[in-house]
Amino acid sequence: MSERGAHHPRGTRANFRGGGGRGGGRGGSSSTEKTTSSERPKKENILDLSKYMDKPIIVKFNGGREVRGTLKGFDALMNLVLDDVEETLRDEDGNESTRSLGLVVARGTLLVVIMPVDGSEQIANPFVVNEAAS
């Protein structure tokens, strides 16, 4: 007799299609397919912000906001912790004013430019593939 159309209580149809068990559905992972973080190569940041720790930097955001503060911390997603922050406000006429914000956590997805107050330095282009390596 064919299995098609036959009624089986949940869990009694071993090795058949369907969502009878946990994690076996489309795109899901079963408990036997465990991936560890050691298998994936760790993504390295393009910028080394550790050399700017406890130094003043200027940060420009999406939407045109600009702040200046002391870098106190950062993470792999480029989220920044800045202290003694001052936001520079500019109007259409070019007039500038500043306001103090204090301690700020800046979300990495909104950052456009990060630059040190004491100047900038030239770095090698991280996106150019070295022909000698291939």
21 within domain boundaries: no
pLDDT at 2: 56
6 within domain boundaries: no
pLDDT at 87: 96
pLDDT at 129: 81
Where would I find the beta strands (DSSP E) of the chain? 56-61, 66-74, 80-90, 96-106, 111-116
- Counting the structural domains of the chain, the total is 1
Secondary structure class of 114 (helix, strand, coil): strand
d(CA 50, CA 72) in angstroms, rounded, equals: 10
* Residue 66, domain CATH: 2.30.30.100
Mean pLDDT of 21-42: 57
103 within domain boundaries: yes
24 within domain boundaries: no
99 within domain boundaries: yes
134 within domain boundaries: no
Enclosing domain of residue 99: 54-116
pLDDT tens by residue, 85-101 = 999 998 889 899 999 99
- Tokens read off for 1: 């007799």
Q: What is the 3-state secondary structure (H, E, C) of 7-18?
A: CCCCCCCCCCCC
Give the Cβ contact number of residue 88 at 10 Å.
14
19 within domain boundaries: no
38 within domain boundaries: no
